[in-house]
Amino acid sequence: MNNSIFPCLWFDGQAKAAADFYCSIFKDSKITADTPMVVTFELNGNKFMGLNGGPNFKFNEAVSFVVNCETQDEIDHYWTKLTEGGEESMCGWLKDKFGISWQIVPTILSQLMSDPEKAPKVMQAFMKMKKFDIEALLKA
């Protein structure tokens, strides 16, 4: 029995365009099925479904996708690509052109935040950032 869990994203006729957009950004990604109503795709091996459900529902920040990044180059890549036509927010959050929220986060952040002496300084530093800057976090 395969009880896999994956998100279904409600689009207003843009499911295929969104799947193409995301597959162009994330390596090891592909569209696995495409019908007029539903597109299934994988990003870095994670399954997603895009549903062309109509204008009834919109995305908001209550749900976001976290992208853990090892390097500043990775952060820069995802930030640049996903904000294209979208909008930047604070603390590593952004909204892409389809309205989906993403968090582009350096993997080292959890380690920095677990140090009781360093955590307040790191938090002060990243509260002023839109896109995370690993070097600035390390210097905090």
Q: pLDDT tier at 2 (50, 70, 90 boundaries)?
A: confident
Tens digit of pLDDT for each residue in 82-102? Answer: 999 999 999 999 999 999 999
Residue 120, H or E segment: helix 119-126
Q: pLDDT tier at 77 (50, 70, 90 boundaries)?
A: very high
Tens digit of pLDDT for each residue in 16-72? Answer: 999 999 999 999 999 999 999 999 999 999 999 999 999 999 999 999 999 999 999
* Torsional sign, CA 127, 133, 138, 140: negative
C-alpha span between 31 and 43 (Å, rounded): 9
> Tokens representing 129?
């950032």
Domains of the chain as residue ranges with CATH: 1-58 (3.10.180.10), 59-140 (3.10.180.10)
* 41 torsion bin: left (phi>0), alpha (psi -120 to 50), beta (else): beta
* Torsional sign, CA 89, 43, 59, 99: positive
Question: Do strands 8-11 and 30-34 pair parallel, antiparallel, or not at all (unpaired)?
Answer: unpaired
Is the predicted pLDDT of residue 1 greater than 80, yes or no?
no
Tens digit of pLDDT for each residue in 97-131? Answer: 999 999 999 999 999 999 999 999 999 999 999 99
